[in-house]
Amino acid sequence: MLPRTGSKRTLDQMVRHNAHRIGDSLALVDAPDRPLWADGPPRRMTWLQVDAAVSAVASRFVEMGLPNDAIVCVQGLNSTDTLIGILGCIRAGMVPAVMPVTFEADAVVAVAGRLDAKAILSARKLGQDQPLRMLWHLSRESPADIRFVGAFGPNLPSGIVSFEDCLSFPRSGSITRLARLDAPEDDLAIITFDPGPDCTFAVARSHTEWIVAASLFVDGLGLSRNARLLSTMMPVSLAGLASGMVPWLVSGCRLVLHQPFDAIVLGVQMARHDITHVVLPDPVLQAALADRLLDESTLQAVAGLTREPHRAVVLPRMAYTPRYFAAIGEIGIVPLGLNPDGRMKLPAFFPSAMKDSALSDSGPLVEARVGQDGHLGLRGTQIPPAAIDMSVGNVPFPISADGWVMTHYPAVPTDDGLLITGERFAASSASRRPSAEPPETIGGTLAGPRQRREFAHEEALAGAA
């Protein structure tokens, strides 16, 4: 787990720390059915191999001339490639913006333009899709400053920068391109995307904010260096990253990846790796319980993640500890408890993360309330202080002056918490993906706890001057 010292770390520093401390331990494992939905055989990587591959990816970004703080759009499945790509961006001093695979090529390029991203990193094969040719052509036609499209996988189309050798034959050595000496843990780390009926927000979190969010799972599930964590969550959202990649880095455990969802493969992975901890979305959790896939004697804790807390089913009593969490869009993750009427409730207050650590004095992890409009509001150390609209409407982020973010979940208060009573955006039209049309304004601001950072093309800035 995170060392109980006065020092704070970035996500990259945690990779280095684990490589130095437990370098020969098995760290990262692909699903055995990887060849069905991605290129290449399943990978098994030690912490030293992870560290070397991260450095190789970072070196490739530096070789391609990307500047410090450049945004790189990353799109991938639940595989070693995706995690190494994200961490390689961070080690190179850049900010990965992780794209759901539901974003088609036109949407990826459009969002990259609005973020002023300098590169796109994907894969030759994403399930049944092979998006690289379209990504390359659209990026060439875009007025945005997208300097290259890179990818993992063999036999890449002409014009695509290969990153495959970074994983197959990583070079030795390390990249030390960390420019900030003053509290780098408060710099922007990863951007995710929160879709709604009228807009999609780009939400950026610092290293500290990601670690605080992940502490729910590290502390709540009791993850340690000896744990073997099975994650079925895609690493493209707050829920997926805060329950998978970041707890893996914090605890130094073994992370076993599962591309959702195959019951037979899940059962094989549970038995083969003697899984001790598993994180499952609510529908998969219910199916796994019905198929008795969670009866392994090695299991110590199971976490269920839901985006619909009002429909969450209470887990039966088991030999291990069941826990439930609600993913409130990209705004925050909150633990759920049992209300006397049998429904799942949210606490009104959840204390600081990681007791006795350097983060223990950072304030409450999350506070919840019901606003005057009858919707759930959240604030706390894991809640983003700002986000920018990716549509052409320039919709303001719904945050109040005192830090409360409106979530659009209908809720009612209880004696010691809150109950979510319906779906998010229930009163709005169905969600839509980002438009591929050129935006009217291509500038915006992402604010972190210590800094503000502008993303805009030079001509947009000049026009505003």
pLDDT of residue 174 exceeding 90, the answer is no
Q: H/E/C letters for each residue in 328-397?
A: ECCCEEEEEEECCCCCEEEECEECCCCCCCCCCCCCCCEEEEECCCCEEEEECCCCCCCEEECCCCCCCC
pLDDT, one tens digit per residue, over 418-433 is 999 999 998 664 434 4
pLDDT, one tens digit per residue, over 264-289 is 999 999 999 999 999 999 888 877 77
pLDDT (mean) for 381-407: 89
pLDDT, one tens digit per residue, over 193-252 is 998 888 899 999 999 999 999 999 999 999 999 999 999 999 999 999 999 999 999 999
pLDDT, one tens digit per residue, over 41-91 is 999 999 999 999 999 999 999 999 999 899 999 999 999 999 999 999 999
Tell me the pLDDT band of 355, cut-offs 50, 70 and 90. Answer: low
Sign of CA dihedral 240, 243, 247, 252: negative
pLDDT (mean) for 294-305: 88
pLDDT, one tens digit per residue, over 89-127 is 999 999 999 999 999 999 999 999 999 999 999 999 999
User: Into which CATH architecture does domain 11-426+435-464 fall?
Assistant: 3-Layer(aba) Sandwich (3.40)
pTM greater than 0.85:
yes
Where do the structural domains in the chain lie, given as residue ranges? 11-426+435-464
